[in-house]
């Protein structure tokens, strides 16, 4: 893991932020656990990787692949897939597992981004696109309309492309959820991230376990044709029974798809509470969601 010192930056859009989201904290002096061999990935770069990188740079797009220091970036980009991160690279929140820069963009938005993203999807010939974004608590609608505009333009230029939107929680604002689930997307996702007991330790204080469940249930209520999806990160100190309780809660709130991913500490300021757990996946799959809906999503 690359050790990145905490520092303040001004990004390419002129927004001030804390680099990698976290200041030095009580976890900073704790060394990393040694990664088991099954978690190690070999970086491979083929011409597709450079094609994706060129599109991202040329159109000034952001990807969660880069901002989250995802270890699978070479594999995904070489296969021609990328997860676009809308509304800039600075998040108003600071979850302790996340390495996205934190700051206040004060209403800034790139109005060309919806069109640039739609054109990039077209050039890359993507059949399935995942859009995500930073949290934008500084915008009255949390950025819902900008998100929806992007989905609509992707559909206009790429009518056969399916779109999954992993959105902020919009502080539970029903009008924003409505804007998103009625914009033509196939999958609406909001991540619960962890079990109820660890939520305030792991996520930003403005996020909430019940708030995420309510957002997912509300989206299903508004538009039952859109699939709902969420993710849990394991390796943060949760127990098996807590994972099962979370699965029960998700089922009760009509969540269609669950992915489970192994936490990999992104920088030396990231939270470190647990261990490597993914070998438990079969147990959780049998105990909660059917195996086809609980998917290995490590990285």
Complex with ligand SF4: residue 24 or 79, whichever CB lies closer:
24
- In DSSP notation, 141-173 reads TTTHHHHHHHHHHHHHH-TT-EEEEE---GGG-
**Residue 254: CB atoms within 10 Å:** 15
Per CB under 6 A, the segment of 54-62, 95-103, 264-272, 289-297 that binds ligand SF4 is: 95-103
Q: Binding to ligand SF4 by residue 100, rule CB under 6 A? A: yes
Q: Binding to ligand SF4 by residue 270, rule CB under 6 A? A: no
How far is the C-alpha of 84 from the C-alpha of 190, rounded, in Å?
15
**Residue 132: CB atoms within 10 Å:** 22
Site size for ligand SF4, by CB under 6 A?
10
The structure tokens listed for 14 are 């002129």
Whether the CA torsion 235, 237, 239, 242 is positive or negative: it is negative
Contact set for ligand SF4, span 11-70 (CB under 6 A): 21
H or E segment at 295? strand 294-296
Contact set for ligand SF4, span 183-202 (CB under 6 A): none
Complex with ligand SF4: residue 95 or 189, whichever CB lies closer:
95
Q: Binding to ligand SF4 by residue 153, rule CB under 6 A? A: no
- 83 exposure class (CB count in 10 Å sphere: 0-12, 13-18, 19+): buried
Tell me how far, at minimum, the Cβ of 225 lies from ligand SF4, in Å.
26
Closest listed residue to residue 164, CA positions, set 90, 257, 236, 100: 257
The arrangement of strands across the sheet holding 8-10 comes to 8-10, 16-18, 101-103, 90-91
The residue from 87, 98, 213, 247 that contacts ligand SF4 (CB under 6 A) is 98
The residue from 94, 130, 189, 278 that contacts ligand SF4 (CB under 6 A) is 94
The residue from 19, 93, 136, 265 that contacts ligand SF4 (CB under 6 A) is 93
Q: Binding to ligand SF4 by residue 95, rule CB under 6 A? A: yes
Whether residue 195 contacts residue 245, with contact meaning beta carbons closer than 8 Å, is answered with yes
The contact pattern for ligand SF4, residues 217-256, with x = CB under 6 A and - = no contact, is ----------------------------------------
**Residue 223: CB atoms within 10 Å:** 16
Residue 24 CA, chain-centre distance (Å), reads 23
Per CB under 6 A, the segment of 45-53, 73-81, 90-98, 179-187 that binds ligand SF4 is: 90-98
Tell me how far, at minimum, the Cβ of 260 lies from ligand SF4, in Å.
16
Q: Binding to ligand SF4 by residue 91, rule CB under 6 A? A: yes
Per CB under 6 A, the segment of 91-99, 107-115, 157-165, 281-289 that binds ligand SF4 is: 91-99
Contact set for ligand SF4, span 105-134 (CB under 6 A): 134
Q: Binding to ligand SF4 by residue 146, rule CB under 6 A? A: no
Beta strands in 45-199 (DSSP E): 62-63, 83-86, 90-91, 101-103, 128-133, 162-166, 187-189
Complex with ligand SF4: residue 95 or 139, whichever CB lies closer:
95
Complex with ligand SF4: residue 21 or 105, whichever CB lies closer:
21
State the residues that interact with ligand SF4 by CB under 6 A.
Answer: 21, 91, 93-95, 98, 100, 134-135, 204
């Amino acid at each position: 893991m690359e050790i990145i010192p905490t520092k303040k930056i001004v990004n390419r859009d002129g927004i001030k932020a804390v680099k990698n989201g976290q200041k030095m904290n009580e976890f900073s002096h704790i060394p990393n656990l040694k990664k088991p061999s099954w978690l190690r990935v070999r970086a491979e770069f083929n011409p597709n990787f450079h094609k994706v990188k060129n599109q991202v740079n040329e159109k000034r797009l952001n990807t969660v692949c880069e901002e989250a220091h995802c270890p699978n970036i070479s594999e995904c980009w070489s296969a021609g897939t990328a997860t676009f991160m809308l509304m800039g690279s600075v998040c108003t929140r600071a979850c302790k597992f996340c390495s996205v820069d934190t700051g206040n963009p004060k209403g800034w938005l790139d109005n060309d981004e919806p069109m640039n993203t739609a054109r990039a999807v077209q050039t890359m010939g993507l059949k399935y696109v995942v859009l995500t974004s930073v949290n934008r608590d500084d915008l009255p609608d949390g950025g819902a309309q900008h998100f929806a505009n992007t989905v609509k333009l992707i559909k206009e230029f790429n009518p056969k492309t399916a779109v999954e939107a992993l959105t902020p929680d919009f502080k539970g604002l029903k009008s924003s959820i409505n804007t998103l689930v009625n914009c033509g997307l196939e999958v609406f996702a909001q991540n619960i991230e962890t079990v109820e007991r660890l939520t305030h330790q792991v996520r930003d204080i403005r996020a909430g376990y019940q708030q995420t469940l309510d957002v997912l249930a509300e989206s299903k209520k508004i538009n039952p044709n859109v699939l709902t999806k969420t993710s849990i990160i394991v390796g943060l100190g949760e127990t098996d029974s807590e994972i099962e309780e979370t699965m029960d809660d998700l089922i009760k709130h009509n969540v269609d798809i669950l992915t489970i991913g192994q936490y990999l500490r992104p920088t030396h300021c990231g939270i470190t509470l647990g261990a490597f757990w993914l070998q438990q996946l079969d147990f959780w799959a049998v105990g909660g969601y059917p195996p086809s809906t609980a998917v290995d999503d490590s990285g």
